[in-house]
Chain A
Amino acid sequence: AGGAEQRRPRRRPGAERSPSPSRLDVSSSRFDPLLALYSASTPLPFPAAPCFNNLAEYESFQRGLLRPRGRRSATSRRGPSAAARRGPPAADPERIQRLRSLMVNAGPEQEAAEGGATARRRRAPRNVLTRMPLHEGSPLGELHRCVRDGVKINVHIRTFKGLRGVCTGFLVAFDKFWNMALTDVDETYRKPVMGKAFYAEPQLTLTRLFDRLKLQESSGKKGADSKTVSEELALTNDSQTLALKAGSGRARAEDEHERQKRLGRAGEKKMPGDSLHLAARGEADVGSGTARTEGASAAGTRARSQSRKKRRPKVDYQQVFTRHINQIFIRGENVLLVHLAH
């Protein structure tokens, strides 16, 4: 008996004595794996179990996809090559049914466990509309709140450098690039100013924009001379600039620039007003002072009101425009910031 046992591994599967069943039974305590591998009569605990080539296949099967037929042909091919792993070929419908029942049970559990985001056919659609609510907790989530609650927003639009203007409206849709679709839009903006004025120009802010607009509108309503408007605006600019940079050398230069602009806007007139202006400029060279500015401008206005007939159309490069647009799409690249109006 001892010799037979020693020789057992070398013998061909067909020639050996059948060992006790408990040695070959997987669930018993006396299971001998080596024996089981070489034995011809190892009973399979689940003869109809599907056979897989690797863990990945098993995983795929567990996820409950596809054809039992494909699986079966794989099994039949692999069957003879494996050493003693021969199970009786189960009947097709029965096998399929069992597999199917496995799939149906595994399916909902799998879905629940993984949150439904598996590679199933009917995956949750991911498109621009479904992505909008996904940004909860981030600034884009705030944007989504605006869409949901119909909050009016102010979108600051940028020019190549700095602020261009504001669009106020209701947000309909947005995306991760901050592209936005707005409805019922009022746009307040100013064309970017170029050339020498660009260097002298203090940075456009929202306050300045609306101040200018208010001035424009109020002057327009009074039906006043448009030159007066530019005078007032220049005054505002001057006083602002001077107030901000009092005493610095730069102020003087800016003063000059402002005055030049004012003159340019007013148009060159061959009138006594001109000489007054020149005198004013001369004075400016000596020193800066608000009083002098006012004096000069007052004189200028008087002079210009006399020369109304020879008025030439002048372009106010710093004019603020307003327009209403029903529906607009804004490319996200041009958005500076979004401000929620309460």
Chain B
Amino acid sequence: MEVSHSVKERTIAENSLVILLQGLRGHVTTVDLRDESTATGRVTNVDAFMNVRLAEVTFTDRQGTVSCLDELFVTGRNVRYVHIPDEVDIRTTIEQQLQAIHRVRYFGGRDKGRKEFPRAKHK
């Protein structure tokens, strides 16, 4: 379960539904874009801003022209829909992703390492 290395992206993802999309990594999905074009492919990566990377993509232009692409990057703002595959359970995926973030955040035990939310120190 790859969690983003950036604390900022982690918090943004943790508090929004982008985390659901991040849980779709590896699944084959269809992304409907804002301009009525569609891209069907395997999700490689989704970041906190909903930028989506797809691999082995069938891209249907808004005019209807179909093309096959090895990789496609869609800017977050251009996403309209993401079709979620039937085998994915929404609630469970979100919880799994949240757990992954929790594990990363509290890695290394209580008193070791740099903490994400520093506890109030006495002295």
Contact = CB atoms under 8 A, between A and B. Distances in A.
A143 to B, nearest CB: 12
A172 interface: yes
Given A65-B120, A70-B122, A334-B34, A128 B84 contact: no
Interface residues of A, number: 42
Contacts of A228: none
A330 interface: yes
B20 A121 contact: no
A173 interface: yes
Interface in A316-342: 325-331, 333-334
B111 to A, nearest CB: 10
Interface in B67-100: 76-77, 79-86, 88, 90-91, 94-95, 98
A203 B101 CA distance: 46
B122 A328 contact: no
Contact of B81 (A65, A128, A192, A328): A328
Contacts of A175: 15-17
Contacts of B36: 191-192
Contacts of B76: 331
Q: Report, as a range, how many residues of chain B touch the other chain.
A: 35 or more
B82 A328 contact: yes
B83 to A, nearest CB: 6
Contact of A328 (B15, B83, B117, B121): B83
Given A191-B36, A326-B86, A173 B20 contact: yes
A192 B35 CA distance: 9
A63 B121 CA distance: 10
A126 B15 contact: yes
A179 interface: yes
Contacts of B122: 57, 60-61, 65-67, 70-71
Interface in B109-123: 110, 117, 119-123
Contacts of A327: 83-86, 88, 90
A173 B94 contact: yes
B121 A173 contact: no
Contacts of B102: 125
Contact of A330 (B14, B80, B121): B80
A126 B101 CA distance: 12
Contact of A66 (B17, B85, B121): B121
Interface of B: 14-21, 34, 36, 50, 76-77, 79-86, 88, 90-91, 94-95, 98, 101-102, 110, 117, 119-123
